[in-house]
Amino acid sequence: MSEFITVSYLTTAKDLYKKAESIAVGMTVGSWTDLPLARQEMLAPYLGKVGNVTITEEKDGLQQGIISIQYPVGNITPDIPSLLTTVFGKLSMDGKIKLVDIDVPPSLLAQFPGPKFGIAGIRERLGVHDRPLLMSIFKSCLGLPLDELEAQFAAQVEGGVDLVKDDEIFFVDDKAPLAERLGAYNRIIEASGRPVLYAANLTGPVHQLVDKAKYAIDQGATCLLLNVLPYGFDILHRLAADPDINVPLMAHPAMAGAFYAADEYGISSPLLLGKLMRLAGADMILYPSPYGSVALNHTEALTVAEHARVSNGAHKPAFPVPSAGIHPGLVTQLYQDFGTDVIVNAGGGVHGHPNGAADGARAFRAAIDAVVKGQTLTKGAQTSKPLALALEKWGGA
């Protein structure tokens, strides 16, 4: 019995069923009905099949709806470039069509690395098991000398964050080269007496990134940040699959909007940021929260988290990191929406605190502690002056 990858598309055509049939043949064996019988027998294992076709709207002689196509697992090699080229290579250019979902059967799933650490592994490293984690972002990185970055880092750690990440646009780091940052930040972490993960931005020629990651680890890196889409999913896969890269990988969604933002084109955010990031090996997945000005809609944001964490029989769950626009007053909502296994990630919400970044982090930690105990933020603010100030500035109760 051959197994299939089930792929669903939102598309528009005069006849959706016919379109589905043309995809099932056109994206696999090329042609079918005109083939001689012997050729059909040879190619049958490679032929795609039409799954469900659901028409949601008919207007002006056009049908819109979801079609699903089944691609034989044997048509692809177990990597994301092969998968995406096969199911959405040429097809992405064929009129109104959005790649909505991909369901990978267990045999293929098992050939992708998935997260090496996942939620449990990261909690283990941090020794934090019973609350959402807190991450902060440098206010900015580009152009700052090491001592200024060290001061930012120290304030964030002092306030109690679990993780700190580089700015994703931090490519030119000549004033604070990677090895020097790692040394300086690790000294600050050590002095704090508490584990903190620092996600260093992994940059450089893509064919050298595996070696660069190992170099970073030699220099003390405890976590790596990657702009997955600008570099391509496959390098995340190769980093995750390498046994010597023994630190968690954090996926940044840079450029993701170019794929998911249009209604009728591109790749859906739950697939792109939830399923594919996890499949390729992200331990933590940053993506737009449903709250800020740079926002994903609420349902999609929850679905990304579901794909990141759901039991899929093969891979560890990854941490969703719904980001942008997060301030302490939003922690109740975040906890309601995402539960305990989430990373609360803030930039302006930490650095913009009236007393600075250390109290900014303290405000978040107090907010997290409150909601985990089932308290209101107002109640939490009674024993946390930083939280009281934050709620005054940003609202929340």
8 Å CB contact between 5 and 70: yes
Per DSSP, the three-state class of 339 is coil
Asked if 28 is part of the footprint of a second copy (rule: CB under 8 A), the reply reads: yes
Q: In whole angstroms, how close is the CB of 204 to a second copy at the nearest point? A: 8
Subset of residues 303 to 332 that bind a second copy, contact rule: CB under 8 A: 324
The alpha carbons of the chain give a radius of gyration, in whole angstroms, of 23
- CA torsion sign for 391, 304, 197, 317 is positive
90 has catalytic annotation:
yes
Phi-psi region of 281 (alpha: psi -120 to 50; beta: other; left: phi over 0): left
Residues 17 and 308: their CA atoms lie apart, in Å, by 32
8 Å CB contact between 127 and 330: no
Subset of residues 67 to 86 that bind a second copy, contact rule: CB under 8 A: 74-77, 79-82, 84-86
Q: In whole angstroms, how close is the CB of 266 to a second copy at the nearest point? A: 5
Nearer to a second copy, 62 or 169 (CB): 169
Q: In whole angstroms, how close is the CB of 379 to a second copy at the nearest point? A: 32
Subset of residues 358 to 377 that bind a second copy, contact rule: CB under 8 A: none
Q: In terms of DSSP bridges, do strands 163-165 and 197-201 run parallel, antiparallel, or are they unpaired? A: parallel
Subset of residues 279 to 298 that bind a second copy, contact rule: CB under 8 A: 288, 293-294, 296
**Which candidate in 49, 59, 90, 373 is catalytic?**
90
Q: Tokens standing for 167?
A: 């700015």
Subset of residues 205 to 224 that bind a second copy, contact rule: CB under 8 A: 205-210
Q: How far is CA 60 from the centre of its chain?
A: 39
Interface with a second copy (CB under 8 A), residue from 62, 120, 262, 310? 262
Per-residue mark of binding to a second copy, 173-212 (x: CB under 8 A): ------------------------------x-xxxxxx--
Subset of residues 225 to 244 that bind a second copy, contact rule: CB under 8 A: 227, 230-235, 237-238
Q: How far is CA 292 from the centre of its chain?
A: 17
Longest Cα–Cα distance of the chain, Å, equals 80
271 DSSP 8-state letter: I
CA torsion 182→187→193→197, rounded to 10°? -10
Contact stretch for a second copy (CB under 8 A) within 55-63, 117-125, 165-173, 185-193: 165-173
Subset of residues 88 to 117 that bind a second copy, contact rule: CB under 8 A: 88-97, 99
- CA torsion sign for 73, 74, 79, 83 is negative
Asked if 172 is part of the footprint of a second copy (rule: CB under 8 A), the reply reads: yes
Q: In whole angstroms, how close is the CB of 327 to a second copy at the nearest point? A: 16
Nearer to a second copy, 112 or 335 (CB): 112
Q: Which residues are catalytic?
A: 90
